[in-house]
Chains A and B, each alone.
Chain A
Amino acid sequence: MNFYLQFNWSLFCIAFGITLLISFIMGIQGRSFYMMHLVIRKFSIIDFEFPASAQELASVIKDIFSLPTALTKKTLRALKSQLYLDFLLMPAIFGSIFILSMKVSGKMLYFGHGLFATLAWLQCIAWLCDVIENVYLLNKIRPEPVVSSPAVHKAYGILEIIKWGVPLLTTVCSFAAIFYYWLTGSYSDSSLCFLLITVIELIVFFGLKRLTSKTEKQKLDDFLGSNQL
């Protein structure tokens, strides 16, 4: 396999579109993320990804099981399905970043050429970290979660840093480079329509989010349903 790959922008648009679609669905699932910590409180998947301590991760899981049974089931269903859906998101999101970085690499010369291609391939490591993280969390979610040892928790923290750090760094550096080419006019006319497609995808994504947005109170009422405490 070649280290430097050529892609068409259309592939990026497809991968990016799928990323936005799955993110939208995950956002809706996230509305059912509640736990019982003295009172019913919201949590986000970030609480699972960056817990302050191994104990805290276990506490959040325990707090989910502290909800009334019907609500625990609701939250668990949403949480687990989000983690499973994440397996579908991974190829789309890491794929789109891979393509973006490879496209930038293709325009670069010398050092930049190699750097961006390397950043693109590093997405495979981030993807692997994401897979391990999801498997770890899916195993962890149980009524009496085991508190991980400090070594395991530290490894989990490093995994998260790689999972988030690599794609973020690649995306930002790639956008910075693209921004440079935009300002210097070093782009082909044909790429403009793909830029337009990407913008439209973003507008549709944010438009849908806005249309389906709810207040915190509405979200809680929806979550509680007939289980009003």
Chain B
Amino acid sequence: MPESIKSQKRKGATLDINDFIQHADVLECVSELKAQFTSENPLVVSDVLDKNGNQYVNLVQKGGGVLGVALVGYTYILELMGIRFLRLAGTSAGAINTALMTVIDKKENAKSLSILKAICELNFFNLVDGHPAARWIIKKFITHSDFTSRVKKWITWIILAAVFLIAGDFIFLGLEHKFQFLSLFTKLFFVLTGFYFLIISLIIFYLARLSKRLKNSGYGINPGNYFYDWIKNQLISNEVRTVTDLNTKASTLPELHLRVDNPEGTASLKGDVTFIASELVTQNKIQFPEMCFLFRTKDQIDTLQPAGFIRASMSIPVFFESYMIDNIPCTSDEIKKAWLDTMDEPDPPSAARFVDGGMLSNFPINIFYNAKVVSPRLPSFGIDLDDSKPDETEKNATAWSLLGYVGRMFNTIRFYYDKDFLLKNKVYEKGVGKIPLADYNWLNFFLSDQDKINMFIRGAKAATQFLKEFNWEAYKNNRTVMQMALNKEKDSESKK
């Protein structure tokens, strides 16, 4: 472990990186792997190596809100076993980890500990930077499973109080004609009724203000400014200030060589980074920073802020405000051509509005697919955050609530794009490790320290399991066979 990272604890922080990596379960994972992969039986996951013997793979990280902590546990184990990452891609929480893995240190060095340190210093609840009332409601809804029934109870009491006060007004008003002394109670009830309606009016007014505020903010509860500033600082502290800096950092590779001969050689190996975001104005999937040319002319590319790409990728709709890129020079020929060529869009927008890339591709493993490569030199690894609950009602199509029904439709659309790729290219599934996280809520920004540690352990365990089972030769063969079959199919189609 680098000395500079050792046992650093932010002032007021309750977590230390040792709480994660020195945990008995994590140490057990490490010792299991060390026992299985010895000098006689080394771990082989790729044919691309650097001079230190590190093996290079491509890595895609799935989005999943706070579940992203588990991604760090996974990559920690991979790095510990000498695995490094050539091309990186991610969506949402996966984009955050991807960004940090790209900018921290050099490609040949392990980065997970530095990421862990950043996580220890970050109070997740600060990311929920919306109006205090909204923060309170979100917190209650997420941390109290019975909050909805509690709200129902409050509404019942409010209605009962109204009935009680109005009934009191009528009863005492009627009675005071017969019993003069009751006029005092009548006045009291009238004043209390007035007071009651004042409170109700204020609550309605306040809620109306909140909803207007939500509308003005583009239907995002939290501005996401805290996150933006945090990730921007992380990039800047690693010397990444512009898009050019980001691309340079992502593409700078150490000297690489191949374990076995491959006609492709190492010259065509390149490093890069991709963050996925969904663009709502033109309804497209955007891959940052690759598609920056859609929003700025070449000479103006560095006016875009790379932190914005990650902010765009993690803009969970409604939970966070959308991320906007405005002042797009939409009348420039260069921009017009870029939109026409890339998106078949003849009329580029002057402003683009982004929400979470997970809306379209939460697990963008397809971007590593290269049809020109027949025999792969390195695999594409993926980290899947599996939070699907083994709930019987999910299978019972007639037992869904309206919310469940809408949710199922939304998820079917949302996940099918990535699922379709994996169904057609099953070999890629062999590179995917699943972290089981069904008992965690991906929006629970109020995670306890123990939850964070537990998620990290789950990630570490999943990585351990994955490495134990991964067979590079089988992967390579399957991928080669798949590509040859596809090429054959393509050839016969072109002959026809």
Which residue in B132, B184, B216 is a CB contact (below 8 Å) of A52?
A: B132
Known: A38-B326, A108-B187. A176 touches B195 (CB 8 A): yes
CB distance from A9 to the nearest CB of B (A): 20
Expressed in whole angstroms, the Cα–Cα distance for A50 and B210 within the complex equals 11
Interface bits B307-327 vs A (CB < 8 Å: 1, else 0): 000000000000000001010
Contact B195 A184 (CB under 8 A): no
Q: Is B407 an interface residue (CB 8 A)?
A: no
State whether A169 and B198 are in contact (beta carbons under 8 Å apart), knowing that A38-B324, A184-B173 are contacts in the complex. Answer: yes
Interface residues as binary, A34-53 with B (CB distance below 8 Å gives 1, 0 otherwise): 00001101100010001011
Distance between Cα atoms of A83 and B109 in the complex (Å): 59
**In this assembly, does B34 line the interface, its C-beta being within 8 Å of a C-beta of chain A?**
no
Q: Does A180 touch B at the CB level, under 8 Å?
A: yes
Q: Does residue A5 face the partner (Cβ distance < 8 Å to B)?
A: no
Closest residue on chain B to residue A110 by CB atoms: B184
Query: B131 to A177, Cβ gap below 8 A?
Result: no
Residue of B at shortest CB range from A41? B216
Check B190 for interface membership: any CB of A closer than 8 A. yes
State whether A180 and B186 are in contact (beta carbons under 8 Å apart), knowing that A41-B216, A52-B131, A172-B198 are contacts in the complex.
yes
Instruction: Report Cα–Cα, A53/B131, bound state, in Å.
Output: 8
A172 touches B195 (CB 8 A): yes
The dominant DSSP class at the B interface is: helix
CA distance A172 to B193 in the complex (A): 9
Please report which residues of chain A, range 40-83, place their CB below 8 angstroms from some CB of chain B when the two chains form the complex.
Answer: 41-42, 46, 50, 52-53
Contacts of B173 in A (CB 8 A): 180, 183-184
Establish whether residues B194 and A175, one from each chain, have CB atoms under 8 Å apart when the complex forms: yes
Which of B191, B193, B198, B326 lies at the interface centre, i.e. has the most chain A CB atoms within 10 A of its CB? B191
Instruction: For residue B302, give the distance in angstroms from its CB to the closest CB of chain A.
Output: 20
Question: Would B190 and A180 count as touching, CB distance under 8 A?
Answer: yes
A112 interface hit (Cβ, 8 Å): yes
> Which residues of chain B have C-beta atoms less than 8 A from A169's C-beta?
195, 198
Within 139-197 of A, Cβ neighbours of B (below 8 Å) are at 168-169, 172-173, 175-177, 179-180, 183-184
Whether B197 pairs with A177 at a CB distance below 8 angstroms is: no
Residue pair B131, A180 in contact (C-beta under 8 Å): no
Within 8 A of B (CB), among A107-150: 108, 110, 112
Shortest CB distance A211–B (Å): 25
A112 to B190, CA, bound (A): 12
Q: Which residues of B contact A108 (CB under 8 A)?
A: 187
B-side contacts of A53, CB under 8 Å: 132
Complex: how many Å from CA A199 to CA B25?
76
Answer whether residue B426 sits at the interface, using C-beta atoms and an 8 A cutoff.
no
> Which chain B residues numbered 198 to 249 have a C-beta less than 8 Å away from chain A?
198, 202, 209, 216
Are A173 and B324 touching (Cβ within 8 A)?
no
A interface residues (Cβ-Cβ under 8 A, vs B): 38-39, 41-42, 46, 50, 52-53, 108, 110, 112, 168-169, 172-173, 175-177, 179-180, 183-184
A52-B131, A169-B198, A173-B195 known, 12 other contacts, Cβ within 8 Å: A38-B326, A172-B198, A173-B191, A175-B194, A176-B191, A176-B194, A176-B195, A177-B190, A177-B191, A180-B186, A183-B173, A184-B173
**What are 5 A-B interface contacts by the 8 Å CB criterion?**
A42-B216, A53-B132, A168-B202, A180-B190, A184-B186
